[in-house]
A and B are shown apart, each in its own frame.
Chain A
C-alpha cells in the first residue's frame, strides 16, 4: 500500500471528545497532512481548535482559503463553509448549500481530498449523530484510500460510524483508543 500523504477525519456529536483521544495519540513526528471536519453549532471553530490543541500532539489551526495543506499541523474546517482540497493541494472554501443538512460537510471534504490524494489518503469517521461522511468515505475507498471507522458500539453517537460502515464499508473498524496507534503504524515510515 502507498504510504498515506494525508489523513481526513470527520465527526459530529461526541466528535470533539473522540478527536481529543485520536489527536492526543498521534505521533508528533507524523509528516502527513491532517484535516478535520467536525459539525459544531458554533459560529467559529476557534474554541474547538483551542480545545483540541490542548489534547493534541500536533498544533491545531483553522484551515484558511488559498493556503496549502501542510503537514505536521492539524487543520480544521471553518464553521459555515465547506472545506475542499484542490488537486494542487491548496484549500478552497465554499458557501454552497448545505450537504446532509450541514456545512461544513464531511462528504464534501472527503470527496475532494480523495480526488486530490487518491490512494495516499486515510479517512477516519468518528462519533456522530447523522449520516454525513458515509458518501465521502465511499468515494475515498473507491479511489483507493484507506477507511478507518470508529466502532459504533463504543461511540458516543453511533449513527455516523454505522452509516459509514453500511454505505462505505471499512478497512479497519476499531475502538476509539486503537485509532491513533493504527494511524501511527500506517503513516510512519
Chain B
C-alpha cells in the first residue's frame, strides 16, 4: 500500500493517539498522521497538506466536527477524500447530520481496532488503490 496521509481531528490528544494506533493495527502502514485539536485547526492543516483520509470527532470546542465537515465542502478542501466520524454520539439524528455534511463512515466510541479496520479500509483502498 502507498503511504497514507491521514488527518485526525479530536480535542483529546489521547484519543488522537488511540485512533492512530488503531489505524496501524488495522494494517494502514506506512502512514503519516496530521493531528488537529479542533475543526479550526483541521481546516488549517487541510489548507497546507493533502491527505487521503480524515477522521474526526463531533463534540469539540470552537468548531465541532459537523461544522468542520461543512466547511471542508464549502471551501472545496480535500475533494474526494473520505471522512469518517469517530464519536460518542450514535443517534440516528447525528448519523443523518453527518451524512448530510458529507461523511462516508461513522464509528461509535468505544471502538475496537477491528471496527476501525472494517469501516476505514474499504474507503481508503478506493482512494489509494492499495
The answer on A and B forming one complex is no
Q: Which residues of B contact A (CB under 8 A)?
A: none
Q: Which residues of A contact B (CB under 8 A)?
A: none
